[in-house]
Amino acid sequence: MQPRELSNRRPAVFLLAMMALFLFADQNLLAPNLTAIARDFGFDALERDVKLGGQISLGFWILGGLVSLAIGYLSDVTSRKTLFLWVILLGEIPCLLTGFAQTYAQLFWLRTLTGIGIGGAMPLIFSLLGDYYPANRRAAASAYIGLAMALGVAVGQLIAGFIGPTYGWRLPFIVVAVPNFILAAVFWKWVKEPSRGQTEESLRWLHEQGLGYHRKISWNDYRRLFAVPTNRLAFVQAMFGTVPWGVFFIYLNDFYAQEKGFSVETATLIVMFIGLAAIIGGLAGGLIGNALYNRHPRYLPLFCAITSTAGVVPTLLLINYEPAGPGGAGLALPLFFGFLSGFTVALTGPNVRAILLNVNTPETRGSIFSLFNLSDDLGKGLGPALISVFIAIFGRTMALNIATLFWLICGLFLLWMVRTFPRDEQRMQARLAQLAKPR
């Protein structure tokens, strides 16, 4: 008989996806209006890139990553539903208040505190997802959540790019924060937390007997996470692979408006097109990855390695494109290059998350995603800070080219996973079977 939590899976996952959408809508609300914000605070072009692009991004992602560590551990020992509600509130309140910031210090600290939302939500969402879906459906499920996150980034960028120039850069923060207060109340009222390990084949008899799987993470379990080769490779590839994303969604909008001569609205459309391609690519990647995994597990990381590396070429073409005439003439090619770039690289994300779910036991999944999220956030936070230094030395175009090449390094570590992933998955299932034996 199907557990009640699984019968209610679709509405629960839909709510998780919608809340993730509005959390991630906040992520790049500064980007379309960097120059307008700089004027508001009296910054020159260099201060704009270093303070608004580098410093704020660093604070946002580093705090988010550190909070993620604490939330990841707590999600493996206490109620994930309660934790998720608190994370949403702690992330959205400073997002709302950003709409009223009057000084750079206020803006910096409110944006930094907003990182709690994204940083804390990631380990909780994917810990819950691992208990809603079995191994052979997790890549596709991860793709649907990734779809919501990517759609959120695109929606936020669109709101900021079109509302900001007319009504001011502060209003978009209020617009994207409000819906999650409503969704949080619905989530608390209607969602039932799934039982840990209920979708694991090795633990089926425990749940059929009504015994359940009640292990909590221990210090030894936490240390064991670093002993899994696939986990270590996932951490490293995340740090390199997220650098270009963090850099482009901060600088690319303003780069196309200032250096390429497009209007803010048109530059926003180009970045939105990349976001749209990433949405389609993330969904397609999860579905393709699911099919490849069901043929052989090693095909999943191989697919990730190929797609991460292939995205470098269209991205370089996008950055180095020169408009054919004044005023940003020639929109077709940037849109084409942007679509190829966003689509290709986004194929990777949902599959890496599915790989992590499949090599870690149910009581450690919150913690592993907090560590993965920290690696992710280090790339997104340190990347723009590092590239802002390269901007000061080499200029924006060369610095963005350098950022793009980080995907090549990411691809090498994903290729290494082709050897480690099948073995680590088998070891995890064997460990679960051992833990589930009657004593």
User: Which pLDDT score, from 0 to 100, does residue 258 have?
Assistant: 81
* Percent above pLDDT 90 for the chain: 28
Is the pLDDT at 126 greater than 90? The verdict is no
Q: Give CA–CA dist 240/315, Å, rounded.
A: 16
Mean pLDDT of 343-348: 92
Please answer whether residues 169 and 36 qualify as being in contact, where contact means their C-beta atoms are separated by less than 8 angstroms. yes
Nearest to 349, CA basis, from 410, 294, 429: 410
Greatest mean pLDDT among 3-12, 113-122, 213-222 lies in 113-122
- Can you tell me whether residue 202 is helix, strand or coil? helix
Q: Give CA–CA dist 209/144, Å, rounded.
A: 32
Mean pLDDT of the chain: 84
- Can you tell me whether residue 228 is helix, strand or coil? coil
User: Which pLDDT score, from 0 to 100, does residue 251 have?
Assistant: 81
User: Domain limits at 245?
Assistant: 4-436
Question: What's the pTM?
Answer: 0.72
User: Which pLDDT score, from 0 to 100, does residue 376 have?
Assistant: 78
User: What are the pLDDT digits (tens) for 249-276?
Assistant: 778 878 888 888 787 778 878 887 887 8
Q: Quickly tell me which residue has 């970045």 as its tokens.
A: 271
CA dihedral 148, 153, 154, 158 (to 10 degrees): 130
Reported confidence tier of residue 132, pLDDT bands at 50, 70, 90:
confident
Is the pLDDT at 1 greater than 60? The verdict is no
Please answer whether residues 114 and 26 qualify as being in contact, where contact means their C-beta atoms are separated by less than 8 angstroms. yes
User: Which pLDDT score, from 0 to 100, does residue 317 have?
Assistant: 93
Is the pLDDT at 439 greater than 60? The verdict is no
Residues in the chain: 439
Tokens of 356: 């992590």
User: What are the pLDDT digits (tens) for 14-51?
Assistant: 899 999 999 889 887 887 778 888 888 888 887 787 77
Task: Give me the CATH number covering residue 367.
Answer: 1.20.1250.20
Nearest to 20, CA basis, from 353, 382, 360, 301: 353
**Amino acid symbol at 87:** V
CA dihedral 416, 421, 422, 423 (to 10 degrees): 90
**Amino acid symbol at 251:** Y
Domain count, the chain: 1
Mean pLDDT of 211-238: 81
Is the pLDDT at 224 greater than 50? The verdict is yes
- Can you tell me whether residue 379 is helix, strand or coil? helix
User: Which pLDDT score, from 0 to 100, does residue 328 have?
Assistant: 46
Please answer whether residues 237 and 379 qualify as being in contact, where contact means their C-beta atoms are separated by less than 8 angstroms. no
User: What are the pLDDT digits (tens) for 138-176?
Assistant: 888 888 888 888 888 878 888 888 888 888 889 999 999
DSSP letter string over 84-118?
HHHHHHHHHHHHHHHTT--SHHHHHHHHHHHHHHH
User: Which pLDDT score, from 0 to 100, does residue 316 have?
Assistant: 94
Q: Choose between 381 and 86: higher pLDDT.
A: 86
* Percent above pLDDT 70 for the chain: 91
User: What are the pLDDT digits (tens) for 107-121?
Assistant: 999 988 888 888 888
- Spell out the alpha helix ranges (H) of 296-364: 299-310, 312-320, 332-346, 349-358
Q: Give CA–CA dist 358/292, Å, rounded.
A: 14
